[in-house]
Amino acid sequence: MSKISRRSFVGLAAASSAALSMPSIAFGVGPRVVVIGGGAGGATAAKYIAKDSKGAINVTLVEASKRYYTCFFSNLYLGGVRNYGSIGHNYYGLAVNHGVNVVHEWAGSVDTASKKVNLGSGATVSYDKLVLSPGIDLNYDSINGYSAEAQTHMPHAWKSGTQVQLLKNQVLNMKQGGTFVMVTPPNPYRCPPGPYERISMIAHQFKKTNPTAKIVVLDPKMKFSKMGLFMDGWQKHYPGMIEWIDPETHGGLKNINVAKMEFETDLDTFKADAASVVPAQRAGAIAMAAGVNDGDWCPINPASMQSKADENIYVLGDASVAASMPKSGFSANSQAKVAANHIRGSLTGSKVFDARYANTCWSLVGTNDGIKVGASYKAGPEKIDATSKFVSKTGEDSAVRKATYDESVSWYDGITTDMFS
């Protein structure tokens, strides 16, 4: 598919809107790939399938939001390090530069027998290959007393957008010397270091605007990603502000009284002035609707990211069971390129390369104090296996930590360019 002009893109948007009133949406000719979800996995897959097939494959990206706000780096917004606009991106480049058909609609269900995606409007989009990159949904009822309704009072902010803005507002407006309670999720969950970077960045904000505030962390896990590095950083930057309590100590979170902002454990009942509650997670609903899940997550073929339930469906990112790989934006972007290569080979006969994956998770603990963990991976017979690993070390000097933070900023600019331009 050739590149299109701004005028053509506007026309395409109008045509897409009109097409939604019709029974079916069809774009162009040739093999059809539909990608559901426009995040690090879906946007990357759509781009590379369209770009590298040079128009031989017709690619449609179904994404409800017209502007995508990244979960990665949203903690830096909470800490006052980034502004909100800096983590927002649109899909213009995918359409104009690569000819991806961008449909801003909800995907309601998948008819795998007829290979059709049913959209919220009632229209359908047909596919030869389907890529699911729906991210996560939250198991609100995994915590007694918490619910979808409660998220306005105690934001999870584990999906970027208005939830993150709400949490930011509550942090900024918490009373002086008040208590912030953070409930972290059980494994597995999106972005393993994410809750602890959030704690760090909220403490970073409090240090500037509410220095006598306290943060209580109720964790269902005995250990977490980069634990020693975070603990060391909290003591260095925020001494006496953060109290992390493990499950053997607190005895389990028994109930949340949202109205009273109280958290009941065997150890004590903690009263909060503001809070963030991140419950257990599962694959996004469309993956469940497509029937490619086994329990809460979706098993895949490690060599291709194909679903083990349906060879015409690929599952990327947080929704997949990718064994050693964490649920992260870097992982999803890496997986998308493997899937895109496999899909092109399947539909056009192009060369398929052996699967290689990578991931790095950076976190900011304090001003210019960056830490990281990562690995390289290959596809094993039954799962994705790590071939090498690395992690920051405690006691690194300030120059190393600043370089790590600068590296994370460069990565953010690079991955978002890779996804959206």
- DSSP states along 356-378: EEEEEEEEEEETTEEEEEEEEEE
Q: Say how far apart CA 299 and CA 200 lie, in whole Å.
A: 33
Write down the domain spans for the chain. 6-135+284-352, 140-279
Q: For the chain, give the number of residues.
A: 421
Contact between residue 250 and residue 217 where contact means Cβ atoms under 8 Å apart: no
CATH class of domain segment(s) 140-279 = alpha beta
Please give the structure tokens belonging to residue 349. Answer: 């006969």
Please give the structure tokens belonging to residue 24. Answer: 């079916």
Q: Which positions ≥6 away from 328 have C-beta within 8 Å?
A: 72, 190, 191, 192, 359, 361
DSSP code of residue 74: H
The β-bridge partners of 34 are 60, 130
Contact between residue 221 and residue 246 where contact means Cβ atoms under 8 Å apart: yes
- As to burial, measured by CB atoms within 10 angstroms (0-12 exposed, 13-18 middle, 19+ buried), residue 360 is middle
141-158 CB burial, b ≥16 within 10 A, e <16: eebebbeeebbebbbbbb
Judged by phi (left if over 0) then psi (alpha if -120 to 50, else beta), residue 11 lies in: alpha
Q: Say how far apart CA 230 and CA 259 lie, in whole Å.
A: 32
pLDDT at res. 28: 65
- As to burial, measured by CB atoms within 10 angstroms (0-12 exposed, 13-18 middle, 19+ buried), residue 386 is middle
Match 């097939």 to its residue by tokens. Answer: 53
Fold: same for 6-135+284-352 and 140-279:
yes
Residue 412: phi and psi, rounded to 5, are: -60, -45
pLDDT at res. 215: 98
Question: Which CATH number is correct for 6-135+284-352, 3.50.50.60, 3.40.1440.10, 3.40.1360.10, 3.40.50.720?
Answer: 3.50.50.60
- DSSP states along 92-109: HHHHHHH--EEE---EEE
pLDDT at res. 378: 97
The pTM of the full predicted model, rounded to 2 decimals, is 0.93
Which of 101, 106, 96, 95 shows the shortest CA–CA distance to 37? 106
Q: Three-state SS for 284?
A: coil
Residue 369: phi and psi, rounded to 5, are: -110, 80
Q: Say how far apart CA 368 and CA 350 lie, in whole Å.
A: 45
Q: Say how far apart CA 386 and CA 411 lie, in whole Å.
A: 21
Strands 242-245, 214-218: pairing kind:
parallel
pLDDT at res. 30: 86
Tell me which amino acid residue 242 is: I
pLDDT tens-digit profile, the chain (421 residues): 334 333 233 334 433 443 434 456 766 678 999 999 999 999 999 999 999 999 999 999 999 999 999 999 999 999 999 999 999 999 999 999 999 999 999 999 999 999 999 999 999 999 999 999 999 999 999 999 999 999 999 999 999 889 999 999 999 999 999 999 999 999 999 999 999 999 999 999 999 999 999 999 999 999 999 999 999 999 999 999 999 999 999 999 999 999 999 999 999 999 999 999 999 999 999 999 999 999 999 999 999 999 999 999 999 999 999 989 999 999 999 999 999 999 999 999 999 999 999 999 999 999 999 999 999 999 999 999 999 999 999 999 999 999 999 999 999 999 999 999 9
